[in-house]
Each structure stands twice: as structure tokens, then as C-alpha cells.
């Protein structure tokens, strides 16, 4: 009874923490309390370990990073990632609320809470395939962990990977390692996922990205078709890179458009990380 009470108190406290963190940077949390038998460290665990930690028919809790909302699920299947279903109709309604009452394939950063572990993960919000529980959810949804693969193509999904890093508070650290070309791909993912936090982190002056975020919300699809010109073999000695890119854009009011835009990617010094020049990309996309 004591452990059960502590567990419920933990859920309430942890959810409150994430509510406070909405629209702020996400950090890996380490919180130790000898009176509460819970490990407060968010872990990035490889799929091979998680697959054994949450075998089929296991119930666990999902906590959404952005909203702090939590709901219970059951793993039903999946060999390369976890196929899960909300446990009850109430859990389905909470999940739908997280997705603004509209099911979506967009990825979201989540924490999987199982026993005394918190594991960084990513989910989509689209019911598909088979479902067995009487929960008002017509199918299952996918949960990816570090090293998870898609069932059809057997490859790692880049958007899920970024959401896992976001859940663990490792996005900024990861962005410090990427090349200008990788940064463009991350920008593309952020645009299509509608992830304001990730998008602002790719831009120069990220604390003042409201103007660009508003523009991005009018673009429902952003696709890189080709990198124009000769790719740089080595940008290590540069602080400014001009990367022309052929893109396809779809805007709500204007329809689709194919064009070449220039990503002006810069850094303050050779030891700093790359950012996309916010003003330049705004002018190209407006």
C-alpha cells in the first residue's frame, strides 16, 4: 500500500513538473528521494533492452513532454518497436486531447514510466492496424525507443529519434554535433512535425523566433527535393555556409510551389555549433 501510494504521488508530482516545463527547455531529470522507491532519472535505453522490459501485454504509463498529460497503455505487439493501445476509453480521450482532438502521424516526445524506470521514447498518434481492447481506439499506435526500426522499411525513423532525444533533454547536445546538411534535415523534420521547440532550436536567435514560427504554421508541407550545387566535403574551417536547396512547399492559401531557397548556415566561431540564419530563411519562405 505504501509503494502504491508513493507511486500515485510520484505521477502527480512528475506531471506537475512537466506542466511547468511547457514552452521551456527540456532537461534530463535526476531526482533521488529515499522515501520514494522511484528512480527519477530519464534514461535512453536501446530497443533490445526495452523489448524485454515491456514484453507484450505489459501495462505502463505514458507522459507527454509538452503537455504533461499522462495515460495508461498496454503493449500488444511489435518486434522492432512497440505497438500499443490505450488501456481504457478514458485513456484514449487523454491521448486524443494530447493530439488536439485530431489523430495524427506526427511524433511526440514522451516518457514511458514502467515500475521504477522512466524511459525516453517517441509516439505517433494515428490509430492503425489491429486492436483488441475495448477502448474506443480503432487499432494501435507506435512507440519508438532508441534503436527502434519501422516494421515496413526496417530503418530508424529520424523524427522518432529526435523526439527520443527531446524527451531525454539531449536535443541541444545532439545539435552541437551535426553538420550544416544534417541541420537542414532536422529543420525539415521540425517543419513537418509542427514542433515549435525543435524548429526554434535550429534557428539563429531562437528566443525570438515567433515571427518565423507564425510563418511556419502556414506551411503544411516542406520537402527537400535536392541539394543544388556541389556539396561541401568539409565545413570544419568555415563559419558561414550557403547551401542552395530545391524544395517543395505547400501553403494553405497558396497551394504547392517548387523553388530554390538558400540556407545561410553560420556559427559564431569554429568551436560553436551551426544555426540556420533566421532572417535569411524567413525572407526566402515568406
- Rg of the chain (C-alpha set): 20
Residue 172, domain member (yes or no): no
Whole-number Å distance between alpha carbons of 114 and 111: 10
Residue 125, domain member (yes or no): yes
**What is the model's pLDDT at position 12?**
52
Residue 98, domain member (yes or no): yes
Whole-number Å distance between alpha carbons of 206 and 208: 5
**What is the model's pLDDT at position 9?**
53
**What is the model's pLDDT at position 116?**
86
**What is the model's pLDDT at position 124?**
97
Domain match, 160 and 185 both:
no
Among residues 133, 167, 201, the one where a domain terminates is 167
Domain match, 212 and 156 both:
no
pLDDT digits 0-9 by tens, 260-284: 999 999 999 999 999 999 999 999 9
Q: Which of 63, 67, 82, 53 is nearest to 20 (CA)?
A: 67
Helices and strands: H and E segment counts in the chain: 9, 11
Map grid coordinates 488501456 to a residue: 87
Whole-number Å distance between alpha carbons of 25 and 40: 18
Domain match, 54 and 148 both:
yes
Domain match, 39 and 100 both:
yes
Tell me whether residue 276 is exposed, middle or buried, using C-beta atoms within 10 angstroms of its C-beta: 0 to 12, 13 to 18, 19 or more: buried
Domain match, 119 and 204 both:
no
Domain match, 105 and 144 both:
yes
Whole-number Å distance between alpha carbons of 121 and 130: 22
**What is the model's pLDDT at position 42?**
94
Domain match, 9 and 136 both:
yes
Domain match, 193 and 140 both:
no
E strands within the chain? 42-43, 59-64, 70-77, 82-86, 104-114, 117-125, 141-144, 219-227, 240-251, 255-266, 275-276
Give strand pairing partners of 42. 118
Among residues 167, 187, 211, the one where a domain terminates is 167
Total structural domains in the chain?
2
CA distances from 166 to 80, 201, 209 (A): 21, 11, 19
Domain match, 187 and 153 both:
no
Rounded (10°) CA dihedral 87, 145, 223, 230: 180
Among residues 132, 167, 202, the one where a domain terminates is 167
CB of 194 closer than 8 Å to CB of 100 = no
Residue 277, domain extent: 177-285
Residue 40, domain member (yes or no): yes
**What is the model's pLDDT at position 23?**
37
Per-residue pLDDT of the chain (286 residues; tens, 9 = 90+): 544 555 455 555 555 444 434 333 334 444 444 444 445 689 999 999 999 999 999 999 999 999 999 999 999 999 999 999 999 999 999 999 999 999 999 999 999 999 989 999 999 999 998 888 989 999 999 999 999 999 888 899 999 999 999 999 999 999 999 999 999 999 999 999 999 999 999 999 999 999 999 999 999 999 999 887 666 777 888 999 999 999 999 998 889 999 999 999 999 999 999 999 999 999 999 9
pTM of the model: 0.85
Q: Which of 273, 275, 272, 244 is nearest to 260 (CA)?
A: 244
Amino acid at each position: 500500500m505504501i509503494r502504491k501510494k508513493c507511486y500515485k504521488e510520484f505521477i502527480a508530482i512528475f506531471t506537475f513538473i512537466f506542466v511547468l516545463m511547457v514552452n521551456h527547455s527540456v532537461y534530463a531529470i535526476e531526482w533521488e528521494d529515499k522515501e520514494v522507491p522511484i528512480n527519477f532519472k530519464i534514461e535512453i535505453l536501446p530497443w533490445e533492452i526495452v523489448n524485454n522490459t515491456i514484453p507484450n501485454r505489459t501495462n505502463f504509463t505514458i507522459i507527454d513532454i509538452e503537455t504533461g498529460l499522462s495515460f495508461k497503455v498496454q503493449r500488444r505487439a511489435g518486434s522492432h518497436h512497440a505497438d500499443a493501445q490505450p488501456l481504457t476509453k478514458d485513456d484514449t480521450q487523454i491521448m486524443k486531447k494530447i493530439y488536439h482532438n485530431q489523430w495524427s502521424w506526427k511524433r511526440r516526445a514522451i516518457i514511458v514510466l514502467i515500475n521504477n524506470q522512466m524511459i525516453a521514447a517517441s509516439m505517433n498518434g494515428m490509430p492503425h492496424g489491429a486492436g483488441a481492447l475495448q477502448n474506443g481506439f480503432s487499432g494501435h499506435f507506435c512507440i519508438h525507443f532508441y534503436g527502434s526500426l519501422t516494421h515496413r522499411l526496417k530503418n530508424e525513423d529520424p523524427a522518432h529519434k529526435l523526439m527520443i532525444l527531446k524527451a531525454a533533454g539531449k536535443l541541444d547536445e545532439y545539435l552541437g554535433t551535426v553538420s550544416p546538411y544534417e541541420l537542414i534535415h532536422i529543420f525539415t523534420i521540425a517543419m513537418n512535425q509542427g514542433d515549435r521547440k525543435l524548429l526554434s532550436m535550429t534557428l539563429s536567435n531562437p528566443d525570438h523566433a515567433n515571427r518565423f514560427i507564425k510563418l511556419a504554421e502556414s506551411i503544411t508541407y516542406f520537402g527537400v527535393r535536392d541539394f543544388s550545387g556541389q556539396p561541401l566535403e568539409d565545413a570544419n574551417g568555415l563559419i558561414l555556409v550557403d547551401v542552395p536547396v530545391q524544395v517543395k512547399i505547400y501553403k494553405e492559401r497558396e497551394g504547392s510551389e517548387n523553388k530554390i531557397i538558400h540556407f545561410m548556415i553560420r556559427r559564431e566561431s569554429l568551436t560553436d555549433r551551426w544555426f540556420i540564419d533566421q532572417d535569411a530563411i524567413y525572407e526566402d519562405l515568406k
